[in-house]
Chains A and B, each alone.
With several copies, the nearest count.
Chain A
Amino acid sequence: MTGLILDDEDGGLALLHDSVAGFAARHPGPAAFRKRRAAGADLDRDTWAKMAEAGWLGLMLPEELGGAGLGLPEQAVLSEALGRALVTEPLAQLSVFAGMLLAGANAGTERARLAEGLIAGSVIAAPAWQGRKGAPAPVEARVSGDGITLSGRVEFVSAAQSATDFLVLARSGGEDILLSVPADAAGVTVDAHPTLDGTMLAAVSFDGTRVAADRQLAGGNSVGTALDRAIAVTRLMLAAEMAGIATRAIEETAAYTIERVQFGKRIASFQVVQHRLVDMWADAEFANAAVVHAVETCAEGQGLPADLAVLAAKARAGDAAVSITRRAIHLHGAMGFTDDCDIGLFMKRAVALNATLGQPEELRLQFVARERVAA
């Protein structure tokens, strides 16, 4: 057995999983990765539109916002399948994270507009909330008249070049607010740099950027709650995506080593190679198990057990994906060290996702600290 094994009574999860495989057959992930990388782009809008058509964006948005109203199992299966197919558009940020922020925001016209556009792929709402070390770092907001003025800088913004709107965390008079800022608003500067996984991450600066008051999506404690929830759910989906990468990398490597002959033998018949492949497979199995456990624990409700399960899943899947793909490169020999070989792209994607929203060491320490406080 392999992959995510979740209860799937009506077969909906299997269907979703297969739809990604079909998509990937028509739009191979590695080719799209290389094309976007060569273009210096942070999002391929064509691919994104097709992902919207497939119904994959805003999967968990409630039905009243036009979403599919699906749950964590569906999103996890989708993310895992995308990881496995190396479809590297930033779904975790633009669909999961943004979607969770919108789901936690106040009802209103602006939220409805953003949600509708997110689902359709026409709105690229890029979350903008992190400081240099990755923690939340609200920009400064001043409310005056019927407008809000923003100043400050956030880091690690995905798809900032392609964004139509930024979902900005700001602080106004001792209170957190969440608001959307048009990407073309005055005073917005995007400083984008290429990433390992063939996309771009940007620092976004707001220099007296003024937006209308009705752009505020949430305020007060609900902002922190929505942000925490967005972080947790996105971590879980990154874990699922990395579990997919891990599973695929071991499959590719087993196939390559079965094919490759040296000294008159398939290299997969060497005992050392066999045991290494087994260890890689075992790591992938544990990653899959951790993701399934987290999905199910979260489904039982929020709280400490769910939080711990998510921390564990992201840490486990991150370590697994990164170390499996590294070993996979090694087992591909010199071929693995070339840019032509897809296995390197899997490794790069794994490293990038692993560095997103907390690396394993940090997540493990959080796990232990929270568990011990509770004990």
Chain B
Amino acid sequence: MAEQQDWNALSDADFRAIFRSWVEENLPPELRFMRKQRPVFEEVAEWYHRLAEKGWLSPVWPQEYGGMGLDAGKHIVYVEEWARLGCPRIPDHGIGLTGPLLIRYGTDAQNDFFLPKILSGEHVWCQGYSEPNAGSDLASLKTAAVRDGDDFIVNGQKIWTTLAHCANWILLLARTSSDGPKRQNGITVLLVDMTDPGVTVRPIPNLRQETDFCEVFFDNVRVPAANVVGEVDQGWALAKAVLGHERIFLGAPSRPEYAIKRLERLAKDRGAFDDPGFVARYAKLRLDLYDLGSAFERFARVLRAGGDLGPDVSVLKIFCSELYQRITEEMLTVAGEEARFWDDLQTAEGEVDAMNLYLDSRAPAIFGGSNEIQRGVLAKGVLGLPS
């Protein structure tokens, strides 16, 4: 049984120290600062199980469900240290999405069945939201779930489903009605077993020629009505509501921070710090990162004080994703004639995955709501600009 302790009673510094020292002892060295942004379950299984054993796998779940029960402030410390120590990302849709949704809206039966299987790693979840014609405009989704006795019959297609090829359960948004005046109505959250007949997964290689997202096809898939979360037709509000303080992490500086360290390594090795032109460009990037930290802190302070985030937090995600891009673009400038190689660059202090980061940096400005969508949200939600 996992350790039970009121982590929130500790000071941030104490909690940080405890977390850090345990990670340093328990995180297998070969998993630190993995090149791959999105390892599959098998690659990080050992780390997953150690966290689960310790009770540290799910930071925000209440302790009664096997989580750490961290408040938002402590959760920020957890995420910060995770990044700083180079912990690999684990397939976390079960921990971060399905779990919180069930804890908030699930039945006891759903919780009893699903939550332990997330912690054990038996169920690996993915998120079935986007469709080919419902990306930025998610509410236009068409995958249909039609009632048939005690079941729903699901037909349709999802896309950009991260790590679907190594998941066995999918949290599905499906259309159960299209009568209402608003397209947001008539959407239902379903828990779907991907090993059921009729589910097909097709991986989509990305710009890095790796697979971290997939298409998922549903051909008359039978899903028990017991697997509906919350009310039928009310899934949109559910899916939105579960995104709470976690929205801050979309703007956490960890990716640009990692990238700038690699930029510094490359620049040092290639003598770029002797070039004042580079130093001036680097200074701009360095200060942008520094100030992103200050801006992140501005929102973290709200959470620490027990407040809620407003729509303004999107500003972090925009700035962070664009900064990440600019840092990786500068890496290619420093790489000079070498900025053509697919493989990592060699330096005296180790490898620099310049191209890997450059290509990866194209993604965060698109995913999780493109930066254009975010700017629209800010225009309306913060500045109150008219339609």
Contact = CB atoms under 8 A, between A and B. Distances in A.
Interface of A: 1, 5, 130, 132-134, 155-156, 193-197, 201, 254, 257-258, 261-264, 266, 268-275, 277-279, 281-282, 285-286, 288-290, 292-293, 308, 312, 315-316, 326, 329-330, 333-334, 336-340, 344, 351-352, 354-357, 359, 361-362, 364-365, 367-368, 371-372
B181 interface: no
Given A355-B336, A361-B277, A337 B207 contact: yes
Contacts of B283: 364-365, 367-368
B366 A334 contact: yes
A275 B312 contact: no
B280 A263 contact: no
B367 interface: yes
Interface of B: 130, 133, 135-137, 140, 159-160, 204-207, 209, 213, 273, 277, 279-280, 282-284, 286-287, 290-295, 297-298, 301-302, 310, 312, 315, 318-319, 325, 332-333, 335-343, 355, 358, 362-363, 365-367, 370, 372, 375-376, 378-379, 382-387
B316 to A, nearest CB: 9
Interface SS of chain A: helix, strand, loop or mixed?
helix
A340 B213 CA distance: 13
A266 B383 CA distance: 14
Q: Which 8 A-B pairs have the closest CB atoms?
A: A293-B294, A274-B379, A134-B337, A355-B339, A364-B283, A262-B137, A289-B295, A339-B205
Contacts of A340: 204-205
A266 B362 CA distance: 23
Contacts of A337: 206-207, 362-363, 366-367
Contact of B159 (A134, A329, A334): A334
A367 to B, nearest CB: 6
8 contacts: A134-B336, A262-B140, A274-B376, A293-B293, A316-B291, A359-B336, A367-B290, A368-B286
A263 B139 CA distance: 9
A281 B382 contact: yes
Contacts of A261: 133
B310 A1 contact: yes
A274 B136 contact: no
Contacts of A312: 287, 290-291, 294
B207 A339 contact: yes
A271 to B, nearest CB: 8
Given A274-B385, A355-B339, 19 more contacts: A193-B341, A196-B342, A254-B384, A262-B136, A269-B385, A273-B385, A275-B372, A275-B376, A282-B318, A285-B312, A286-B295, A289-B298, A337-B366, A352-B340, A355-B335, A355-B337, A361-B277, A364-B283, A364-B286
A289 B298 CA distance: 6
Contact of B294 (A197, A263, A289, A356): A289
A363 to B, nearest CB: 9
A15 to B, nearest CB: 20
Contacts of A133: 336-337
Contacts of A257: 385
A296 to B, nearest CB: 9
Nearest to A364: B283
Nearest to B313: A1
Nearest to A135: B337
A195 B342 contact: yes
A336 B325 CA distance: 15
B379 A275 contact: yes
A130 B290 CA distance: 30
A201 B291 contact: no
A21 to B, nearest CB: 21
Q: In the complex, which of the residues A5, A278, A286, A356 has the most CB atoms of chain B within 10 Å of its own CB atom?
A: A278
Nearest to B271: A133
A155 B133 CA distance: 47
B282 A333 contact: no
A351 B333 CA distance: 10
B383 A368 contact: no
B378 A278 contact: yes
B135 A278 contact: no
A330 B365 contact: yes
B383 A254 contact: yes
A1 B367 CA distance: 25
B353 to A, nearest CB: 13
Given A1-B302, A269-B386, A330-B365, A290 B338 contact: no
A367 B383 contact: no
Nearest to B355: A196
A165 B136 CA distance: 53
B257 to A, nearest CB: 14
Contacts of A155: 337
Contacts of B205: 338-340
A351 B336 CA distance: 11
A60 B383 CA distance: 35
Given A278-B378, A339-B205, A351-B340, A285 B295 contact: yes
Contacts of A285: 295, 298, 312, 315
Contacts of A271: 376
Contacts of A357: 337
B363 A5 contact: no
A194 B342 contact: yes
A289 B96 CA distance: 29
